[in-house]
Homo-oligomer: A and B are copies of this chain.
Amino acid sequence: MAKLDTVVAEIVDEMRRIPDRGTVASYIPELACVDPDYFGIAVIEAEGNAVVGGDGDMPFSIQSISKVFTLTLALGKFGNRLWTRVGREPSGSPFNSIVQLEREQGIPRNPFINAGAIAVTDLILSGHLPREALGEILRFMQFLADDPTITIDQEVAASEQRTGFRNAALANYMKSFGVLDNPVDFTLGVYFHHCAISMSCRQLAMAGRFLAQFGSNPSTGLPVVQPERARRINALMLTCGHYDGSGEFAYRVGLPGKSGVGGGIFAVAPGKASIAVWSPGLDPSGNSHLGRMALERLAKRMGWSIFGA
């Protein structure tokens, strides 16, 4: 058995036995009732070898992980003009902070905090109906994962639309500065729906291969983005991918990654592997508790840290 298989099997076994599983996100009612015992992992190596463990084929709500893919899509359509709407610096604040927006005239710090992802969604929406924009995002995910069965969980989307007052505050606030072009309800509708995309670890790791492969989609051999853009998206994930726990994640895991409040984390070992883990319980910064632990062990045992093996 290859080393990766052994390491993944060990981690699945170790994670099963950890009693403290963090706290399942309660602020989206539909997510609050997910069983904290789930743990899944999928690793797809550069050569295409896929190792999946635990509940790695169980779909879950990818939530903020979708921000990596909407950013990729928006960069493809708008190029560097996107950076007039959103910054590239860590925020030093929780994911839904509005304070930074007041200080910086409605320009979100980066595309991975909620405000930034809403601004990116607004760009993708421009010139389209919400349904069209959403269709484009979903087809992009299906294409990247090479899997046309990926769907949106309508109940999660509806739940968030009913209760997402903080995101509505962020969107209206940016709108008051002219940072959003579309009606607030349209932009929020698309945002809530792409956050409600449902995927398994295997599907996520498949979808993110281009970031581990210098921008290319190994299924087709064709570039999804230029190599430099893949590097830069990885850099953004490293510095901003985990809200105000980004420094801690870099310090402990040493891989670019993006977490979601559904308990998923997508991570990249550049040139080596595309990785997804999932466990619903979160730590105080809103990142999957077991997920981060699993990635820390994986990076260490495989020698994949980008900061020196």
Residues of A within 8 A of B (CB): 87-93, 97-103, 109-110, 165-166, 168-173, 175-176, 184, 211-212, 214, 227-228, 230-232, 234-236, 238-240, 244-248, 250-252, 254, 256, 270-271, 300, 305-309
Determine the distance from Cα of A306 to Cα of B252 in the docked complex, in whole angstroms: 16
Name the residue on B nearest A309 (C-beta).
B271
Q: How far is the CA of A101 from the CA of B308 in the complex (A)?
A: 32
What distance in Å separates the Cβ of A260 from its nearest Cβ neighbour in chain B?
Answer: 19
Closest residue of chain B to A245 (Cβ to Cβ) is: B89
Could you tell me if B250 and A235 are in contact, using CB atoms closer than 8 angstroms?
yes
Question: In the docked arrangement, what's the CA distance between A160 and B297, Å?
Answer: 44
- Asked whether, in the complex, the Cβ of B214 is within 8 Å of the Cβ of A238, the reply is no
Question: Are A98 and B227 interface neighbours, CB within 8 A?
Answer: no
Looking at the assembled complex, report how far the CB atom of A137 sits from the nearest CB atom of chain B, in whole angstroms: 23
**A98 proximity list for chain B (CB < 8 A):** 98-99, 101-102, 169, 173
Minimum CB–CB distance from A253 to chain B (whole Å) comes to 9
Residues of B within 8 A of A92 (CB): 89-93, 100, 109
- A110 in complex: contacting residue of B109, B173, B234, B247, CB < 8 Å: B247
